[in-house]
Homo-oligomer: A and B are copies of this chain.
Amino acid sequence: MKSGLTLFGYWRSSAVYRVRIALNLKGLEYRNLPVHLIENGGEQHKPEFRALNPQELIPVLQDGQRVIRQSLAIIEYLEESFAGPRLLPVDPRDRAHVRAIALAIACDIHPLNNLRVLQYLDRDLGVEPAGRDRWVQHWLSKGLSAIEALLSDDDVVGAYCHGDMPGLADAFLIPQIYNAQRFSVDMTPFPQLQKIYANCLVLPAFERAKPENQPDAPKP
């Protein structure tokens, strides 16, 4: 579906990857505006971008004059504003379950391992690379292990996080697993996560959202 949506992002950011998946699942076209997080000291710190988001973080979604920040708020906005496949179930308890999976990733895994935090450990606290790797592995393994257990607390165990349609929780889970693989986390203790990952990756909405398929990804 045509839309006036613009996504400010970066190919490798897992928070942006979530939003790309949601846009694709909803069947919404959008303009992709890359913000390079590393070159030129980080374009997210430039005044033009800070005017869009004082947090100096991506993603940011623009819908006409409206500026929406925070990946989960963006995805809930898409769900509330556009037709297309539902990203959240109907029952309030099921909605809460799906949101809890998303938040267990968005609050309890991802913020501990993102670029600015690893830079702070390195530059400000002088933590050695081995210590930083241990830190990343620790929060990833602990977090994914809890999510593997959370997934089982559901009457609707299906091909995806909740039931037989991919949705909000999958849009959070797949980028987090992609990240875990970058950091060589052993996924064998997480059979549910592996199954869902494999089921999602074959879908066009997830394939098109992949970091390496973005226009700003380095050419192989």
Contacts and interface: CB of A to CB of B under 8 A. Distances in A.
Nearest to A108: B111
A15 to B, nearest CB: 9
A117 interface: yes
A107 interface: yes
A29 interface: no
Contact of A74 (B70, B96, B134): B96
A153 B54 CA distance: 10
A20 to B, nearest CB: 17
A5 interface: no
Q: Which residue of A69, A104, A112, A134 has the most chain B CB atoms within 10 A of its CB atom?
A: A69
A127 interface: yes
A148 to B, nearest CB: 8
A103 B73 contact: yes
Contacts of A72: 72, 99, 103
A120 interface: yes
Contacts of A95: 76-77, 80
Given A69-B100, A76-B95, A56 B107 contact: no
B124 A134 contact: yes
A55 B153 contact: no
Contacts of A63: 93
A127 to B, nearest CB: 6
